Amino acid sequence: MTSPLELVVPLHDPNQSLRLRRFLLAALVYGVAIGLMGLYVVLGFMTLVGWQITTAAILAVNGVIYTVLRSGRNERLRDPSLTGVQMFCTCLLMALTMYQVDSARGALLLLYLVLLMFGVLRLRQWQFMALGLFALVCYAAAIAAVWQTRPWAVNMDVELLQLAAMATLVPCGGFFAGYVGGLRRKLRDRHIALQQAREQAHDLRVLDPLTAVSNRSRIIEFLEYEVARAARLEQPLSVIMLDLDRFKRINRQYGHPVGDEVLKRVAERLQGAMRSIDGLGRYGGEEFLVVLPDTPLAEASVFAERLRERVEGCRFASLPPTFKLSVSVGLAEFRHGDGVWSLIERARGAADHALDAGGGRIDATESR
């Protein structure tokens, strides 16, 4: 059931919720301005018609902005917060209000300056300076219009003083906007750096740092899930153990950096053959474990042959052209009552049989 708050401010989208909360805070200031103008009417500083016109304009502008924000159409725009639009409308509404008031404009002017301060949160320094200049022009135009139509309602000395005060506040606000913008950029950069650090920490936790495939703990965790799933749904599951033949000889003869190159290249070739549902991990040393969900032994045998061909087709820049890598492949299919380790051990046993038979071949004897 939708709560009353969510009818006004959607809670499912944090960004949109924040925009609407800021808008409603600004709308609250407008509400205070409307109430203060009502007091002006009572005190004789403003006509009732002037109050009605200004109030209608404020409600219409804010109603349109709220409708756009609430509908989500603002998210298609370059400025989804509609900050520029809201500040532009604030300047125009300020000019309308100043025109309708006969005297004591300073109190209402302060409220509109508070509304302009909302621009500090989103606008760049030059944008806020341009906004401040536009506000000065709007205020001056409103006073000039009053001077032309109701000269008795203008104390020019006071108005010039207020205009000068506004002109002083604009660069101060621009400086503050630049300062806040700098803080926001620093926070954004730190957030990005923190996110990258989290991703790196996650990679270190689940990926093998050399080959960039799943590490031992992650591939076993994946296999545990698939074993439980296969037992529950009675679906096929096969695993493949690949053991690079005579890999230690490569390390002894050509050095460990070359051995690392071989492992990385083999991992790339294996990864390129995986389906989206498969799991691939470095089980240890020169051993790779492949988990094949929803795959019976016959299909796994075909897939294993494809993997063997991909591995043995690898070429390495640091090794002689005549060098040929071979791999022993062991297959095991999930049986009722199998656990993770029994399944792995049967695949390893099959790989050992393949190696004992000369290597470079596939064995599934442990699954028969």
Check pLDDT > 90 for residue 214: yes
For residue 1, the model assigns a pLDDT of 46
pLDDT grade, residue 202 (50/70/90)?
low
Check pLDDT > 60 for residue 208: yes
Q: How many CB atoms lie within 10 A of CB 325?
A: 20
Check pLDDT > 70 for residue 12: no
What domains are defined for the chain? 4-200 (no CATH), 216-367 (3.30.70.270)
Q: Report the mean per-residue pLDDT for the chain.
A: 87
Q: Which amino acid is at 228?
A: A
For residue 5, the model assigns a pLDDT of 47
Distance from C-alpha of 333 to C-alpha of 346, rounded to nearest angstrom: 9
pLDDT grade, residue 104 (50/70/90)?
confident
For residue 280, the model assigns a pLDDT of 96
For residue 57, the model assigns a pLDDT of 95
Distance from C-alpha of 96 to C-alpha of 49, rounded to nearest angstrom: 13
Q: What percent of the chain has pLDDT over 90?
A: 45
Assess contact for 320 and 258: CB atoms under 8 A. Answer: no
Distance from C-alpha of 68 to C-alpha of 58, rounded to nearest angstrom: 16
Distance from C-alpha of 243 to C-alpha of 130, rounded to nearest angstrom: 69
Please classify residue 156 by burial: count the beta carbons closer than 10 Å to its beta carbon, then call 0-12 exposed, 13-18 middle and 19+ buried.
Answer: exposed
Distance from C-alpha of 343 to C-alpha of 267, rounded to nearest angstrom: 22
Label residue 285 left, alpha or beta by phi (over 0 means left) and psi (-120 to 50 means alpha).
Answer: left
Check pLDDT > 90 for residue 161: no
Check pLDDT > 90 for residue 42: yes
pLDDT tens per residue across span 115-144: 777 777 677 778 878 888 888 888 899 999
CA distances from 165 to 37, 86, 109 (A): 22, 23, 11
Check pLDDT > 90 for residue 327: yes
> Sign of the CA dihedral 308, 312, 315, 316?
positive
Distance from C-alpha of 61 to C-alpha of 161, rounded to nearest angstrom: 30
Catalytic residue among 286, 287, 333, 366: 286
Residue 286 is among the residues annotated as catalytic for this protein: yes
Lowest average pLDDT, out of 3-12, 24-33, 282-291, 351-360, goes to 3-12
Q: What is the DSSP string of 163-214?
A: HHHHHHHHHHHHHHHHHHHHHHHHHHHHHHHHHHHHHHHHHHHHB-TTT-SB
Lowest average pLDDT, out of 161-175, 220-234, 320-334, goes to 161-175
pLDDT tens per residue across span 72-102: 888 888 888 888 888 889 889 988 998 998 8
pLDDT grade, residue 156 (50/70/90)?
confident
For residue 266, the model assigns a pLDDT of 93
pLDDT grade, residue 366 (50/70/90)?
low
Prediction pTM value: 0.54
Residue range 351-368: mean pLDDT, rounded: 84
Residue range 226-245: mean pLDDT, rounded: 94
pLDDT tens per residue across span 186-195: 888 888 888 8
pLDDT grade, residue 201 (50/70/90)?
low
Distance from C-alpha of 210 to C-alpha of 208, rounded to nearest angstrom: 6
31-43: b or e for each residue (b if 16 or more CB lie within 10 Å)? eebbeebeebbee
Q: Give the distance, in angstroms, between the CA of residue 209 and the centroid of all CA atoms in the same chain.
A: 25
pLDDT tens per residue across span 304-321: 999 999 999 888 888 888
pLDDT grade, residue 346 (50/70/90)?
very high
Residue range 196-220: mean pLDDT, rounded: 83
